[in-house]
Structure 1
C-alpha cells in the first residue's frame, strides 16, 4: 500500500450533514476561548497588571516592560507546547487534544482571577502570574492546530477556506469580548474598584466559555480522512516525519505567522503606548480594537470564501502588504491625539487588512502538509511564529518607543518589515485552493518519505 490515502469524496453530502458545521462551530468556540484568554490578559497587562503585580517602587516604564514580558512568556513557551500537542493530535486524535487544551486554557485563565497581588504576597504574585501564563501558552499551541485540522478535514473540498476561516472568526470574537468587557469596567468603576476587584471579573468569565465549548465538542467526530491515516502503521512518529520531510513548510509557515505582529500591536502594545506614553483615555481607546473586531467578523468569512475562488496566496499577501502600509497612520495619529485618525487607522489596519491575511492562513498553512502530520506541522510553524511575534514584539516595540514611550516611527518601521517578510514567505508557497485532500497528500509526500515510512494497512 502506498502512502497516499484513499480519496475521500469531495461531495459534502457524503458526510453527515451537520458534521462540517459542528466541526466549524467546535473550532470557533475553542478559538474564541483561546483568544479571549490571551486578549483579556494582554488588555489587563496594558492597563492594570503592571501596577498590581510588580513593586510600587519600580520605575513605571520598567513596570510596563515587565508586564509586557509576562504577555510574551505565554508565546515563548508555545513552540514547546507544539512539540507535545501537535504529535498528540496526529496520533491520538484531534478531538482528544481539543478537549485537553480546552480545560487547561480555561482553568489557567480562571485561576488568574484569584491570584493575590504583589502588595499581598510579594514576589510570589508575579511568579504565580507567569505560571498561569505558561499553562495558557502550552494549551494554546495545540488548540488552534487541532481545531483547524478538524475543520479543514471535515469541510467539503470547495469551501475549505471559508470553513477554516471560522476558527479565526472565533479568535476575533474572543478578542472582541475580552476588549469590550474592559470598557464598562474602566468607564464606570473607580480606580480603587478597578484595581481591587474589577480587573478579576474578565478572567472569571472564561469559565462560561469552557462549559459551552465542552457541550459542543463532546460529540465531535474525527474526520474520515484522518481516521483512514490513523489506521496505517508507520515506522516514524509524526514529529520525526515533520522535521525530516516537511521542515521547509514549517519554516515557511513560521515566517508567514509573523503577521501576528499586527494583532499584538493593536490589542496589546498600542494600548500601552497610547495610555502610558500619551495618557489617552483608556475606555475611549479600547473602542478601537472593538470596532476593528466588529469589522473583522464580516471581513474574515468574506476573505475565506474569496480565497476559495481566487487563491490563498493573493488574499494573504494583500492583507500583509495592506497591514504594512496602514500601521504608519495609526501610530502617528496616536502621537497627535487625533481620535478620528486613531479610529480610522486602527480599524482599517486590523479590521480590514490584517483580517484578510488572518482569515486565509488556517487553510493556507494547513494545506502545506499531508494529513498524517498536518496538526504537527501546523502547530510547529504557527507557534514558533507566534512565539517570535507575541513573545518579543511587545518588548521590542516598547524599547523602540523610548524610555518615555513616545516614539512611533521605529515601532512602525519594525512592524512594516515583519509584514513584508510574511508576504515574501507566502509568495514561495504553492497555490492549493483547488486541490482535494487526497491530492494534497500526494503533493506533499515524496517517494523518499514513502519509502522511509514503510506504510502498512
Structure 2
C-alpha cells in the first residue's frame, strides 16, 4: 500500500515501494519526499553546469575563433573553434567506459560526486587561458587540452544522473523523473543563452574580446562546489544497494555488456543518433546559423534561442509524463517520423522570415526534440539491467554524441561551405532521424516492466 505525496511538476513520492523499485525503508513520507527532492537536485545541477559551459562556448564561438586561432577568413576560424568543440567529444566514449565501470562497481553517487568536481575545475580554467595574441599556438593547444579533460569528466554526467533518478523513481513515474535530466541540460543552455545575450547587450565588441568571453566560465567553480556538496550528502540508489548487499555487483561491467547485451547496445546507439544531432543543431548551433548564414543580428538570434529554450523546458516534463502513459517506443518512433517529415520544411521557413516566424519555427523544433529528449533517458535506463546500466547507457550515449552530436556544428558548417546549400544541415538531421527510426522499430516496449537487475 503506497502513500503518495504530490510534488511540483507532477512528481510524486512514495513512502513504501517494492524493494528495488523506489525508495524503501522510510516510515516518514516527508523524509522520502526530501530524499527524492535532493536526488532530483543532485541530478539537475551537474548537467546544468556542463551545458551552461557548452552553451557559452557555442554562443561565443565567433569570438573564441578570433581569440584562440590565427587570423584568416572567418569561416576557417569558426571551423577551428567548432573543431576544438568536437575534439572534446572524442574522449567521451572512453569516458563513458571509465565512468560507467566506476558507477556500476562503486555506486552512482561516488561516480557523480567525482565527475562534477573534475568537470567544474576544468571549465573554470578556461577563464584563465592566454589568447593566441599572447602565446601563439600554445593558446589553442591549451584550449584543446582543457576541453578534452572537460569532455572526459562530463561523459558520466547524463547517463549517471538518468540511471540515478530511474532507480529512485516510483513505479509508473520513471519517465517524468528522468526528464529532469534533459530539463537540466536545457536550463544550462537557457542560462548560458541569457548570460551571453546580456553580455552582447551591455558590453561593446571590444569589451567582449578583452574580457567578456571569460565571464561565463568563472561561474563553474561555485556551481560545481554546490553540486558536489549536495551529491556527497546523498545515499546511493535502492537498486544499487540491493546489488551491493547481495554481493552481485558486476566485476567487469563492460565485458558483461559486450558479451550479453550487444543487441541492446545497437538499439541504444541508433536511437541516440537523432537525439545527438538534433540537440546540438537545434539548441546550440542554431544561433550561429541564424547570424552567420541568414544574417540575423547576434542579439536577435540569442533572444530567439532563449525563447525556444524556455518553451522546450516547459514541454520536457509533459513529454516525460506522456511516455509513462503511452510508452517509450511510441514516443521515440513518433519523434523520428516527425523529424523526417518536418525538418526540411522548417529549415526552409527560416530563410527571409520575420523574427516572430523564426521564433515559432525554433519553438516547433524544440517541441519535436522534447518528444525524443523527454523519453530517451528513461528508455536508455530501462533497456539495460542494473548490473551494467551505467556502463551501457554511458557508452552508447557518449559514442553517439562523439560521432554525431559534438561534430554536428562542425559538420553543418562544413556541409554549407562544401555544398553551398543552407539546407544541408536539415538533410543531415533527417538522416539521423532515419537511423533512430530503424533502431526503435527493432526495440521492445520497456515502460511496463520493472527495472531488471540482470
TM-score (norm 2): 0.90
Q: Contact 2:281–2:409 at 8 Å: present in 1 too?
A: yes
User: Distance in 1 between the 2:437 and 2:303 partners?
Assistant: 29
Report whether the alignment pairs 1:348 with 2:359. Answer: no
Matches within 5 A, 1:303-382: 303-350=319-366, 352-382=367-397
1:37 corresponding residue in structure 2? 53
Q: 1:250 aligns with which of 265, 273, 293?
A: 265
1:3 corresponding residue in structure 2? none
- 1:235–1:282 CA distance, 2 compared to 1 (3 A): closer
Q: 2:449 aligns with which of 432, 435, 440?
A: 435
| Secondary structure of the structure 2 residue equivalent to 1:157 | coil
Which stretch shifts more, 111-120 or 228-237?
228-237
Report how far residue 288 of structure 1 moved: 2.2
1:145-188 CA-partner distances (Å, limit 9, x unpaired): 21111111111112011111111111111110111111011122
User: Distance in 1 between the 2:193 and 2:434 partners?
Assistant: 28
Q: Contact 1:252–1:381 at 8 Å: present in 2 too?
A: no
| Secondary structure of the structure 2 residue equivalent to 1:408 | coil
Report how far residue 407 of structure 1 moved: 2.3
Unaligned runs of 5+ in 1: 1-6, 446-457
- 1:302–1:233 CA distance, 2 compared to 1 (3 A): closer
Matches within 5 A, 1:27-426: 27-45=43-61, 47-56=62-71, 58-231=72-245, 232-233=247-248, 236-259=251-274, 260-350=276-366, 352-402=367-417, 407-426=421-440
User: Distance in 2 between the 1:215 and 1:11 partners?
Assistant: 23
User: Distance in 2 between the 1:217 and 1:235 partners?
Assistant: 23
User: Distance in 2 between the 1:337 and 1:189 partners?
Assistant: 28
User: Distance in 2 between the 1:216 and 1:323 partners?
Assistant: 38
Q: Which runs of 4+ in 1 moved over 4 A?
A: 9-16, 233-236
Q: Contact 1:69–1:391 at 8 Å: present in 2 too?
A: no
| Count, aligned residues | 431
Which stretch shifts more, 234-243 or 131-140?
234-243
User: Distance in 2 between the 1:233 and 1:26 partners?
Assistant: 26
Which stretch shifts more, 282-291 or 84-93?
282-291
| Secondary structure of the structure 1 residue equivalent to 2:179 | helix
User: Distance in 2 between the 1:11 and 1:44 partners?
Assistant: 42
Unaligned runs of 5+ in 2: 1-17
1:454 corresponding residue in structure 2? none
Which stretch shifts more, 213-222 or 111-120?
213-222
| Secondary structure of the structure 1 residue equivalent to 2:234 | coil
User: Distance in 2 between the 1:131 and 1:270 partners?
Assistant: 26
Report how far residue 353 of structure 1 moved: 0.8
User: Distance in 2 between the 1:399 and 1:115 partners?
Assistant: 27
User: Distance in 1 between the 2:221 and 2:182 partners?
Assistant: 21
Q: Contact 1:82–1:380 at 8 Å: present in 2 too?
A: yes
- 1:235–1:378 CA distance, 2 compared to 1 (3 A): closer
User: Distance in 1 between the 2:273 and 2:416 partners?
Assistant: 20
User: Distance in 2 between the 1:366 and 1:188 partners?
Assistant: 43
1:451 corresponding residue in structure 2? none
Report how far residue 423 of structure 1 moved: 2.4
User: Distance in 1 between the 2:225 and 2:148 partners?
Assistant: 22
Q: Contact 1:52–1:119 at 8 Å: present in 2 too?
A: yes
Report how far residue 12 of structure 1 moved: 5.5
CA RMSD of aligned residues (A): 2.0
| Secondary structure of the structure 2 residue equivalent to 1:163 | helix
User: Distance in 2 between the 1:344 and 1:274 partners?
Assistant: 14
User: Distance in 1 between the 2:39 and 2:355 partners?
Assistant: 40
Q: Contact 1:280–1:337 at 8 Å: present in 2 too?
A: no
Which stretch shifts more, 229-238 or 272-281?
229-238
Which stretch shifts more, 298-307 or 11-20?
11-20
1:99-122 CA-partner distances (Å, limit 9, x unpaired): 111011111111111111100110
User: Distance in 1 between the 2:294 and 2:164 partners?
Assistant: 44
- 1:386–1:235 CA distance, 2 compared to 1 (3 A): closer
Report how far residue 26 of structure 1 moved: 1.0
Report how far residue 9 of structure 1 moved: 5.8
Q: Contact 1:24–1:166 at 8 Å: present in 2 too?
A: yes
User: Distance in 2 between the 1:356 and 1:189 partners?
Assistant: 37
Q: Contact 1:331–1:342 at 8 Å: present in 2 too?
A: no
